[in-house]
Amino acid sequence: MTRAGVTTFSRIFFIGGAISFRALFSWITPWVYIPTLLITPMFQLLFFAYLGRTAHLRSDSWFVIGNAVQSASMASLFGMGFAIDGERWSQTLSSVLATPANRAALFLGRALPVLLNSMVTSLFVFVAGRLLLDFHPPLAVVPKLALVVVVACFSVTGLGMTTGAVGLRLRDVPIIANLVMAILLVFCGVNVPLDDLPRWMSAVAQVLPMTHSIGAARRLADGASIGSVDHLLLTDVAIGIAFGIVGFALLRWFEHEGRRLATLDRA
């Protein structure tokens, strides 16, 4: 890629991504953002922490880590879904896809603000857990947990790319996002230890985003070093990249099919 090409790629990636996010999500005022992306995940944490106390299952700390990391999935899955499907609702999808812009820059640029947004949700739930439950990680662990959040958000945004791509073909993106979020909640060891899940569910969890990040975060909170969990974090990054590639391939394929069948704007 030439220097001019890199500049154009960066412009579409950063500036294009930011502008599209602002345009597509202009309806997310604080009145929507706070109940949806902050209050709901916080109460999800409280719900499962108290359910865990009822079942005498694990400590508050165990539930805080699981739910705080998993809470990123809502912003990522719905965000990526709407970042693509929203173009159709606002009748700009054809215009966007008619441009000669590099598709990687175009779609990955849309993923970056979504990723950052999911990190905000996740970090907020960690703070809520610290303030409301028995979760008191040593200060030295906090940067390590922040790193895990970055990895988990990256990984689940990759999955969001795949589910969002399906939005080019199917109508009900929120339903797909909801189902995938439910799968992550049940399978990834968020509220039930992987050892207590049926074996096939534990096996499926190994190829899902977040499973390894959640495991890594719990070990870090127990005092493990980054070096001892780096394989878990790298696995989650690899899963995120794999889902991202699948999502990007699906986007290109559905775009091609949408052009061929003239169905891009059909919702």
Partner 1 sequence: MRYPKLFWHGFVVHFKELSASPFQIMTAAIWPLVFATLAYLMFRAGSGAPSLLYASLGAAVMGIWSTTATSAGGAIQRQRWLGLLELLVVAPAPFVFVLAPITVAIAGIGVYSIASTLLWGRLLFGIDVHIASPGLFALAVPATVLAVGMLGLVLASALILYRAASAFSQGLEFPVWLITGLLVPLSVLPGWVTPIAWALAPTWGMRAMRHAALGGSVLPALAMCAVLTVAYGLAAVLLLRYFEQAARRRATLSLT
Give the residues lining the site for partner 1 (CB under 8 A). Answer: 29, 31-32, 34-36, 39-40, 43-44, 46-48, 50-57, 172, 174-175, 178-179, 182, 185-186, 191-193, 196-197
Residue type, 238: A
Structure tokens at 80: 């990526």
Q: How far is the CB of 36 from partner 1 (least distance, A)?
A: 5
Concatenated DSSP letters for 147-182? HHHHHHHHHHHHHHHHHHHHTTT-S-HHHHHHHHHH
Q: How far apart are the C-alpha atoms of 11 and 6, rounded to whole Å?
A: 8
Q: How far is the CB of 125 from partner 1 (least distance, A)?
A: 12
Q: Which residues of 97-133 are buried (b: 16+ CB within 10 A; e: fewer)?
A: beeebbeebbbbbbbebbbebbbbbbbbbbebbbeeb
C-alpha torsion 186→191→194→200, nearest 10: -20
CB nearer partner 1, residue 129 or residue 137:
129
CB nearer partner 1, residue 36 or residue 102:
36
CB nearer partner 1, residue 57 or residue 147:
57
65 neighbors 214 (Cβ within 8 angstroms): yes
Q: How far is the CB of 257 from partner 1 (least distance, A)?
A: 23
Structure tokens at 236: 């989650």
Q: How far is the CB of 185 from partner 1 (least distance, A)?
A: 6
Q: How far is the CB of 206 from partner 1 (least distance, A)?
A: 17
CB nearer partner 1, residue 102 or residue 178:
178
CB nearer partner 1, residue 108 or residue 184:
184
Q: How far is the CB of 194 from partner 1 (least distance, A)?
A: 11
Residue recorded with tokens 């790319």: 161
